Structure 1
Amino acid sequence: MTIGDARLHPPSPHEPYARQRLKILYDASTFGSGIGSTLRGGIFRVVDRIVAEAIDDPDVDALITALSSEWASISTTLYCNQVGEPLKSRFRRGWRSLALPMSVHIRVREHLYAWEQAGRPRSLSAFFVRAAWFAAKHTIIRSPIAGSFDIFHSLFHALPPHPHLDCRARVITIYDLIPMLNPEYFTPDMVAYFKQILKSIDPLSDWVVCDSASTKRDLLRYVDIRPERVEVIHLAADPTFRRVDDEQRISDVRARYGIPDGRYLLSVSTLEPRKNLPFLLRCFARLLESDALAGVNLVLAGPKGWMSDPIYASLSDQRLKGRVHATGFVADEHLPALYTGALAFVYPSLYEGFGLPPLEAMSCGTPVITSNTSSLPEVVGDAGLMVDPTDESALCAAMRSVVDDCHLRSALSERALARAKRFTWRSCMQDHVTFYRRILDSTQKNA
């Protein structure tokens, strides 16, 4: 049976796709990176929310798998076992071992995880565990997943070979095209893998979800697929991102991350080139030099990322001494207080597929200054100040106006809260279900 075959499990004549409960298999290989880790990036958080919403949706019978690699499958199995229900019973394995029970491979992965958590100490036992993994992984091969599905939806990774799935249609989510547009921001291996993701899309039979119209436009430049096969579905901020009214909570979070008393501007992101942080630091230093930001500090919240050396080099500017505070990784539960306490959120990113941090800030009622490029105008709209991310004078003027004008801050805060309400995970999943039904209707008509 091939993908797209309408004979696979056609709807009952009394139950059209408009009402039928949909059986969706999600590739959540990204979960494999979350074993015991608090350093979970934006993609992990998005995948986590989509899967959670799908499980809660009465129109969806959601199952999950991990087909991107044998390592991802074993790691995701371990993650689901650690998290427990509802993930554990919904996981479907797509790999099998020719030599050993998969439980043995999972046990080896547990030992490797414990070794990594301990700082990778040198020991004889660690050597044997690693050797066991590298020897055993070559015995793991792809295995067809039992059962048939309406939709197979990869939430990040490349679509798998056709014979391993019994489904009516395949969908993949593309969050951005940065590895193609700016390959210099990534390792060669990362660029090569992203090219594999795009190559895995069959333009004649597969379907794509993009998180913004901007990402869709970029995708159509690199994949020769009809626009009607690509659906724009916006993401959302987690419901925990809301204004914090408890001043003590804000004070405690500031103390936890070493942020001194006084007013501050905030930027939240992984410290990497496309976030344009050296540009932000130059603008902030310029304002400090002109005494335009008396008593105002800049807080950079986020873990160190790929090619972050130029950012740390910028921090050595003597004008910034004592006025810029890099917190490192900030846990999700502390971010709302950090957003709420800020005068404004400043995000001069060069490119975003969607732009979750500005939306998180808006959900907390924090005035936003961001770039007028890629998807950011689509998300922020008229609720923030938009600037050219290469124009220092424009960003300086925006920061100064927000710092100096309390009425402007109040107006931006109100507009931010109102606009943020348009983006919810519930509506995101409803849009997915509508898209799934359209796909299935189209497949049925073309059979």
Structure 2
Amino acid sequence: MHPVRVALTVEQCWQPVPGGSGSYVVELSRALAAVPQAEVVGLAARHRAGPPADVTPTGPVRFAALPRQALYESWNRLRLPRAESVTGDVDVVHATTWAVPGSRAPLVVTVHDLAFLREPDHFTARGNAFFRRALRVVEDEAVRVVVPSAATRDDCVAHGIEAERVRVVPHGVHADPGAAQRVDRWRRHHGVRRPYLLWCGTLEPRKNVARLVRAYAQACASDGLDHDLVLVGPAGWGDGASQVREALRGLPADSVHMLGRLGSADLQAAYAGASAFVFPSLWEGFGLPVLEAMAHGVPVVTSKGTSMAELVGQDGVLVDPTDVEELASGLVHAVGSDAGPRLRAASERYTWSASAQGHLEVYREALGTS
């Protein structure tokens, strides 16, 4: 059987804040490169330099003549240039984000979430317009839609994408086994002296971090929580970062550590040393940071009724993310939890190798529709 030739959009790796979608592109391209039945070529806009080392996709990449903004708008409105005009002939085109190229080959699109329909105020007007046009393209052209969770599948079907076109293919995870040996050095470098709770992500409105900070302050004041709070990740769009800084007023200056974006090795050490991981996002398509924490055997507090709840199951501390008091109680409960080993065991079924095989099956299905 000949390998399936796939054009994979990898442009997310060049975004200022690649986020979870960037991690998905990097890990999927690496895992597919190890699959003999797949032959992958990346597709990106014109750039003067490569992406950061820790978000560099695996395999050859072909670059369009247009820079990112012009390419995205041209794809979104004109459906040009076609993917094959950049990559050469392929069997399947896989758009890994809402930047969806036109193509003559069967089109597969990953829909990470439909959060912009749930909470449009959490996105810019320009972003909303772009996402909505891209969703219409997906509805009209995608022969298969890959989603990372049952929650996103249900959203897609509720919005009108036929269930027979949607395939759930979860992400994978791998924990650095040497991270635990780097925790003490990591603590010293960042001045984190006490036990700590960890949050990781991009500071933007739907991540709900300001409410987390208020819950942390309440747990310290009312329940005697004797932990620091460590916030890891870059500032995204909107006023997420400013809301967090406002919520920090009145807390001891050395109790909350805003560390910005960490490199991979430092982030793994941050996970490994945490007493608990807290991720009260209002909505996620998958919640990769939750799975990363699980892989390190760290107790998790996260949001009821979301894709993250799918990951942690009954061993997670599930809270209403809009209820500060309930979130504060969840923090206190998590630091005394013994669920870490069970969460680590649950994470072991999520591998990037399995994800790559799941994507390959989708590509073959898509190829069969042509």
TM-score range, shorter chain: 0.7 to 0.9
Q: Which residue of 2 aligns with 1:298?
A: 229
Residue 89 of structure 2 is aligned with which of 148, 155, 159? 148
Per the alignment, do residues 82 and 279 of structure 1 end up closer, same or farther by CA in structure 2, a change over 3 Å counting?
closer
Residue 342 of structure 1 is aligned with which of 274, 283, 291? 274
Distance 1:192 1:278 in 2: 27
Per the alignment, do residues 321 and 373 of structure 1 end up closer, same or farther by CA in structure 2, a change over 3 Å counting?
farther
Contact 2:26-2:57 at 8 Å conserved across structures: no
Q: Which residue of 1 aligns with 2:204?
A: 272
Distance 1:93 1:166 in 2: 18
Say which is worse superposed, 351-360 or 52-61, in terms of deviation. 52-61
Deviation at 1:395, TM superposition (A): 2.2
Partner SS, residue 337 of structure 1: helix
Residue 367 of structure 2 corresponds to residue 430 of structure 1: no
Q: Which residue of 2 aligns with 1:57?
A: 35
Q: Which residue of 2 aligns with 1:402?
A: 334
Q: Report the AA paired with residue 268 of structure 1.
A: C
Q: Which residue of 1 aligns with 2:21?
A: 43
Deviation at 1:432, TM superposition (A): 0.7
Deviation at 1:78, TM superposition (A): 4.0
What's the TM-score once normalised by structure 2's chain length? 0.87
Per the alignment, do residues 41 and 204 of structure 1 end up closer, same or farther by CA in structure 2, a change over 3 Å counting?
closer
Say which is worse superposed, 300-309 or 228-237, in terms of deviation. 300-309
Partner SS, residue 207 of structure 1: strand
Deviation at 1:146, TM superposition (A): 6.4
Contact 1:28-1:65 at 8 Å conserved across structures: yes
Per the alignment, do residues 181 and 375 of structure 1 end up closer, same or farther by CA in structure 2, a change over 3 Å counting?
same
Residue 237 of structure 2 corresponds to residue 310 of structure 1: no
Q: Report the AA paired with residue 244 of structure 1.
A: A
Deviation at 1:204, TM superposition (A): 6.3
Distance 1:205 1:258 in 2: 49
Per the alignment, do residues 323 and 146 of structure 1 end up closer, same or farther by CA in structure 2, a change over 3 Å counting?
closer
Deviation at 1:382, TM superposition (A): 2.4
Q: How does 1:183-262 map to 2 (within 5 A)?
A: 183-203=120-140, 206-222=143-159, 224-237=160-173, 239-242=174-177, 244-246=179-181, 249-259=182-192, 261-262=193-194
Q: Report the AA paired with residue 53 of structure 1.
A: A
Deviation at 1:281, TM superposition (A): 1.6
Residue 14 of structure 2 corresponds to residue 32 of structure 1: yes
Per the alignment, do residues 157 and 273 of structure 1 end up closer, same or farther by CA in structure 2, a change over 3 Å counting?
closer
After superposition, the C-alpha distances for 1:109-129 in whole angstroms (9 at most, x for unaligned) are 9xxxxxxxxxxxxxxxxxxxx
Q: Report the AA paired with residue 149 of structure 1.
A: V
Residue 50 of structure 2 corresponds to residue 79 of structure 1: yes
* Residues paired across the two proteins, number: 354
Contact 1:349-1:389 at 8 Å conserved across structures: yes
Distance 1:353 1:205 in 2: 19
Distance 1:270 1:349 in 2: 11
Contact 2:112-2:152 at 8 Å conserved across structures: yes
Deviation at 1:366, TM superposition (A): 0.9
Q: Report the AA paired with residue 50 of structure 2.
A: Y
Q: Which residue of 1 aligns with 2:113?
A: 176
Partner SS, residue 79 of structure 1: coil
Distance 2:261 2:267 in 1: 10
Distance 2:255 2:343 in 1: 27
Residue 363 of structure 1 is aligned with which of 295, 298, 309? 295
What percent identity do the matched residue pairs reach?
A: 32
Distance 1:439 1:325 in 2: 47
Deviation at 1:375, TM superposition (A): 0.7
Q: Report the AA paired with residue 384 of structure 1.
A: G
Partner SS, residue 25 of structure 1: strand
Per the alignment, do residues 146 and 401 of structure 1 end up closer, same or farther by CA in structure 2, a change over 3 Å counting?
closer
Q: Report the AA paired with residue 92 of structure 1.
A: R
Residue 263 of structure 2 corresponds to residue 331 of structure 1: yes
Q: Which residue of 2 aligns with 1:282?
A: 214
Structure 2 unmatched runs, 5+: 69-79
Per the alignment, do residues 430 and 348 of structure 1 end up closer, same or farther by CA in structure 2, a change over 3 Å counting?
same
Q: Report the AA paired with residue 45 of structure 1.
A: S
Structure 1 unmatched runs, 5+: 1-18, 67-72, 97-104, 110-140
Contact 2:97-2:109 at 8 Å conserved across structures: yes
What's the TM-score once normalised by structure 1's chain length? 0.73
Deviation at 1:314, TM superposition (A): 0.4
Distance 1:82 1:379 in 2: 29
Partner SS, residue 92 of structure 1: strand
Per the alignment, do residues 243 and 355 of structure 1 end up closer, same or farther by CA in structure 2, a change over 3 Å counting?
farther
Contact 1:288-1:319 at 8 Å conserved across structures: no
After superposition, the C-alpha distances for 1:290-325 in whole angstroms (9 at most, x for unaligned) are 2521x3221122222221221110011x24543222
CA RMSD of aligned residues (A): 2.7
Distance 2:211 2:51 in 1: 41
Contact 1:266-1:298 at 8 Å conserved across structures: yes
Per the alignment, do residues 326 and 221 of structure 1 end up closer, same or farther by CA in structure 2, a change over 3 Å counting?
same
